[in-house]
Structures are given as structure tokens and as C-alpha cells.
Amino acid sequence: MLNLIGTYECKADAKGRVMMPSALKKQLAPVSPNGFVVKRAVFQPCLELYPMEEWNALMAKMGKLNRFNRKNNDFIRRFTAGVKTVELDATGRLLIPKDLMSFAGLSKELVLSSAINIVEIWDKNKYEQAITDAASDFADLAEEVMGDANDDDHGIS
């Protein structure tokens, strides 16, 4: 499993091309030849960049959903709305499609933030605001999500 590390500031040019930071590019090197999928995030105003292997694993799970269940069908449609395949070009740039740039409100200043096996692509100001807004709630969230010491499957302890 891919385990990406780091948060990187970078710039997008007028065409939506982003130079992948070298430290992140090195981490993605083993999966870069197969390309990536970029999509709208579900919970935040950002984009998610999936290495193709990670995307295919996720689609295998979603492919098991019963499409004759209306909620499943609606979820699949909304989850995959606007999905695009992308690749790093010969100079290590990623072209972010205009419609997805618009969805996430991306401007020139961006943050690429690792999220275990994917990369979140944020407008820098929105990222800073999201981190600031979540700071006060993070201790409670960490305790709720990771703090059950008696449950080896869901807690760190």
C-alpha cells in the first residue's frame, strides 16, 4: 500500500499545470507510469488525486455495490462525477482540468497534501482555513476516531 508523506505548496500556471514537488514526485515514482485519476472530494472543497492502482482498488469495492439499489446507484454517480484521468508530463507537471479547478476554487497558489494513499489538491487559502477551522475540534475527533485503547482494530493502542 502506498503511504504518502508531506504537505507541499506550489503554483498553478494559467493553463492549470502544476509542477509536482520533487519530494512528492519521488514518492509517486513507482506508480506514476500508470497515471492518475483526479476527482472532486466528497467532504471538502478540494480535489483528490488517486494513483491508478489505488483508484482501481476503490472501484473494485464500489463495483460490488448493488446498482439496483437506488442509493447505491446515486452514490456511484455522484462519487464519480467529473472524474478525469491525468498523467505527469515529461517535465513533471500535472494538468488539472478546468472544470475541476473551478469546482475546488483553485487559484494560482496551491497546497498538495498527502492523505495516506492519495493527494489532496487545495487552494492555499482554503487549505489554511480548513486547518484553522478544524484545530479546535481535532483533539475531540482524534479521541473519538483513534482513542479506543480496547479495540485493536480501530484504535492505535
Mean pLDDT confidence for 141-157: 68
What are the pLDDT digits (tens) for 19-55?
Answer: 999 999 999 999 999 999 999 999 999 999 999 999 9
Say if strands 84-86 and 36-40 run parallel, antiparallel, or are unpaired.
antiparallel
pLDDT at residue 94 is higher than 60: yes
Percent pLDDT > 90 in the chain is: 81
- What is the per-residue pLDDT for 19? 97
- What pLDDT sits at residue 134? 75
100/82 Cα distance (integer angstroms): 7
The pLDDT of residue 132 is 86
CATH of domain 7-123: 3.40.1550.20
The CA-atom distances, in angstroms, between 26 and each of 4, 23, 54, 111 are 10, 5, 17, 17
Please state the rounded mean pLDDT for residues 52-71.
96
Tell me how crowded residue 21 is: count the other CB atoms within 10 A of its CB: 16
pLDDT band at 157 (very low <50, low <70, confident <90, very high): very low
Is the model's pTM score more than 0.75? Answer: yes
